[in-house]
Structure 1
């Protein structure tokens, strides 16, 4: 077990992922054939439960590293995602060093952490000894920075052993500053830059749910290291809209 995206980040490379939302083998395998570095499965803002997560991770297999955003900073949720086969976790609302330490301990076996033993999906129901030997080194933990409280504690958070990167929650960080989503772009952008500068200072990879290519380009070219672009449902919608425009133009032309 080697975590390819963790190695890329350690080598100073940037990584770009996408977000699977559709629990269907055909869709997952089509995404798996892409050149994205990783998948991000969101169980915080979706209806993906642990049974669905197991199925999705099984369909992806080892074709891509998969990071799971858990719903809350609870040990059993981190354990469940990793036992199902996730290569790492994003943990929301990690606003203090104590909250970040709790998330890391949930992802690590003793003596570093409190993760309990039972990684059946993670080892494809075999290969337990190899997984036990490397899991603490290879599993990723990305705390989510999404409140002003987290920003206030950022220097302390970024020095904690086991923080493999951070992920900005752009909408919620904006909310905590008093701006609704897509408002206060200049001021919220300055806060993103402040967090990025701190990450560069501490040599910790900075990431964000960038959603679009343009936003990913903006922040990766400034020194960010982790971005997400699009989703399976978004790609289907974009492809349908593009084809629909062509079909409508063709229909109008031949019927005129």
Structure 2
């Protein structure tokens, strides 16, 4: 029995649009709810959300029966955390702050078993192989893992063509907020100067033959990026959705507490 097919990897390789949502509430329960909302992929954030490995593992498990593909953003691009997240059952990993082709090559090796890479052989103890029940996991896993790299600095943009040329990199994701900060537009990712660099970056990624991705909560920008050819676009975050919905509901009742809406 081979490793499970990574349908997300196959879809972005074909250039199919994959619409995603960022998960930062650090909750398997909320991840399970998002899993049946209709998104193609869900990003479990290990960089800026309060997620440790057990919480990440619990969210991967919660999404197992879901049609949404779990993508895990690790906190840092190092071999040890990639190994643990892969063994926990993730097939697709997003690595932040990649600025050189050399770093990209190291990350490719971290994702794959020898002789192609240096992933430690311990998945028989973990969810990745269904605890040893996927008998051919070790010989088939390399084909199904998916590596996405974040370009989110001027250095990364300068090296974008070299990073995209690295074999084993499946997609490159532009991080608008950090890129804006590095360009001198802290908190202003929609500044025209930043958007110009983002659009050029997306075009370069697509020209390289790799999948391009990005996150934005602005529907018009999301549509623009899709029109440019971005394959995997996250269109919001669970934190923002919850913040806005709770604030709206509270204000609705506080403004007119005498007339609650029907059905409540």
Structure 1 length-normalised TM: 0.91
Kindly tell me: are residues 24 and 74 of structure 1, through their superposed partners in 2, closer, same or farther at Cα, counting changes over 3 Å?
A: closer
Correspondent of 1:90 among 84, 87, 94:
94
Kindly tell me: are residues 88 and 184 of structure 1, through their superposed partners in 2, closer, same or farther at Cα, counting changes over 3 Å?
A: closer
SS in 2 for 1:86: coil
Correspondent of 1:124 among 124, 130, 139:
130
CA distance in 2, matches of 1:107, 1:183: 31
Kindly tell me: are residues 85 and 222 of structure 1, through their superposed partners in 2, closer, same or farther at Cα, counting changes over 3 Å?
A: same
CA distance in 1, matches of 2:89, 2:154: 32
Give the RMSD, CA atoms, in angstroms.
2.0
Distance apart, 1:12 and its partner CA = 1.6
- Comparing 17-26 with 170-179, greater Cα deviation is found at 17-26
SS in 2 for 1:142: strand
Distance apart, 1:172 and its partner CA = 1.3
Distance apart, 1:73 and its partner CA = 1.4
CA distance in 2, matches of 1:237, 1:112: 44
Q: Does 1:115 align with 2:119?
A: yes
Distance apart, 1:184 and its partner CA = 7.0
SS in 1 for 2:213: strand
Q: Does 1:33 align with 2:39?
A: no
Distance apart, 1:157 and its partner CA = 1.2
Distance apart, 1:248 and its partner CA = 4.8
CA distance in 2, matches of 1:173, 1:183: 8
Structure 2 length-normalised TM: 0.88
1:239 paired residue number: 245
CA distance in 1, matches of 2:190, 2:252: 37
CA deviation vs aligned residue, 1:108-148 (integer Å, no higher than 9, x gap): 11111101112212233233433223221111101110111
Runs of at least 5 residues in structure 1 that lack an aligned partner in the other structure? none
Kindly tell me: are residues 180 and 232 of structure 1, through their superposed partners in 2, closer, same or farther at Cα, counting changes over 3 Å?
A: closer
Runs of at least 5 residues in structure 2 that lack an aligned partner in the other structure? none
Q: Does 1:209 align with 2:215?
A: yes
1:48 paired residue number: 51
Q: Does 1:79 align with 2:79?
A: no
CA distance in 2, matches of 1:240, 1:131: 44
1:146 paired residue number: 152
CA deviation vs aligned residue, 1:73-112 (integer Å, no higher than 9, x gap): 1100111111111121111221111000011110111111
Q: Does 1:169 align with 2:175?
A: yes
1:158 paired residue number: 164
Pairs aligned (count): 254
Kindly tell me: are residues 24 and 47 of structure 1, through their superposed partners in 2, closer, same or farther at Cα, counting changes over 3 Å?
A: closer
Kindly tell me: are residues 25 and 74 of structure 1, through their superposed partners in 2, closer, same or farther at Cα, counting changes over 3 Å?
A: closer
Kindly tell me: are residues 178 and 246 of structure 1, through their superposed partners in 2, closer, same or farther at Cα, counting changes over 3 Å?
A: closer
- Comparing 28-37 with 225-234, greater Cα deviation is found at 225-234
1:103 paired residue number: 107
